[in-house]
A and B are shown apart, each in its own frame.
Chain A
Amino acid sequence: MLEPLKEFFRGSRGGQGRGGPPPPAGKAPLNGSAAAATLSVRPSRGLEEFFTQIRDTSGLTILDLGGATQKNVSFITDLGHRLYSEDFLRMLNEAFGADDTVDQTNPGRIEYFLKQTLDYPAGHFDGVLVWDVLEYLNPVLLNAVVERLHHIVRPKAYMLAFFHSDDKQDAVPCYTFRIDQLNSLEIVRQGMRRPAQLYNNRSLEKLLARFESVKFFLTRERLREVIIKV
Chain B
Amino acid sequence: MSSMPPARIEAEPRGGAATIGKAVKVVGQIFSREDLYIDGEVEGTVEALEHKLTIGPNGTVRATIKTREVVALGNIQGNVEATEKIEIRKDARLTGDIRTARIIIEDGAYFKGSIDIVKPEPVKGVAAKAQASAPAPQVAAVANAPGAGNASEMKR
A interface residue numbers (CB < 8 A to B):
61, 67-70, 73, 77-78, 82-87, 90
**Are B107 and A82 interface neighbours, CB within 8 A?**
no
Q: Which residues of A contact B106 (CB under 8 A)?
A: 70
Inter-chain CA distance A78–B110, complex, in Å, is 21
- Which single member of B105, B110, B112 contacts A73 (CB below 8 Å)? B105
**Are B105 and A68 interface neighbours, CB within 8 A?**
yes
Q: Which residues of B contact A78 (CB under 8 A)?
A: 117
Q: Which residues of A contact B112 (CB under 8 A)?
A: 85-87
Q: Which residues of A contact B111 (CB under 8 A)?
A: 67-68, 85, 87
Q: Which residues of B contact A82 (CB under 8 A)?
A: 114-116
**Are B104 and A70 interface neighbours, CB within 8 A?**
yes
Q: Can you list, as one digit per residue, whether each of B62-92 has a CB less than 8 Å from chain A (1) or not (0)? A: 0000000000000000000000000010000
- Which single member of A61, A67, A70, A83 contacts B110 (CB below 8 Å)? A67
Q: Which residues of A contact B114 (CB under 8 A)?
A: 61, 82-85
Q: A82-B115, A85-B112, A85-B113 are in contact. Are A73 and B107 (CB under 8 A)?
A: no
Supply 9 further A-B pairs (C-beta < 8 A) apart from A69-B105, A70-B104, A87-B112.
A61-B114, A67-B110, A68-B110, A68-B111, A69-B107, A70-B105, A73-B115, A82-B115, A85-B111
16 A–B pairs (Cβ distance < 8 Å), ordered by A:
A61-B114, A68-B111, A69-B105, A70-B105, A70-B106, A70-B107, A73-B103, A77-B115, A83-B114, A84-B113, A84-B114, A85-B111, A85-B112, A85-B113, A85-B114, A90-B110
- Which residue of chain A lies nearest to B116 when distances are taken between CB atoms in the complex? A82
Q: What is the distance, in angstroms, from B77's C-beta to the closest C-beta of chain A? A: 13
Q: Which residues of A contact B128 (CB under 8 A)?
A: none
Inter-chain CA distance A61–B113, complex, in Å, is 12
Q: What is the distance, in angstroms, from B5's C-beta to the closest C-beta of chain A? A: 32
Inter-chain CA distance A68–B112, complex, in Å, is 8
**Are A68 and B116 interface neighbours, CB within 8 A?**
no
Q: Which residues of A contact B109 (CB under 8 A)?
A: 68
Q: Which of B93-126 contact A (CB under 8 A)?
A: 103-107, 109-117
A-B complex: 4 closest residue pairs judged by Cβ atoms = A68-B111, A77-B117, A84-B114, A83-B115
- Which residue of chain B lies nearest to A82 when distances are taken between CB atoms in the complex? B116
Q: Can you list, as one digit per residue, whether each of B110-151 has a CB less than 8 Å from chain A (1) or not (0)? A: 111111110000000000000000000000000000000000
Q: What is the distance, in angstroms, from A54's C-beta to the closest C-beta of chain B? A: 16
Q: Which residues of A contact B105 (CB under 8 A)?
A: 68-70, 73
Q: What is the distance, in angstroms, from A79's C-beta to the closest C-beta of chain B? A: 10
- Which residue of chain B lies nearest to A116 when distances are taken between CB atoms in the complex? B112
Inter-chain CA distance A73–B86, complex, in Å, is 12
Q: What is the distance, in angstroms, from B137's C-beta to the closest C-beta of chain A? A: 31
Q: Which residues of A contact B88 (CB under 8 A)?
A: 68
Q: What is the distance, in angstroms, from B39's C-beta to the closest C-beta of chain A? A: 23
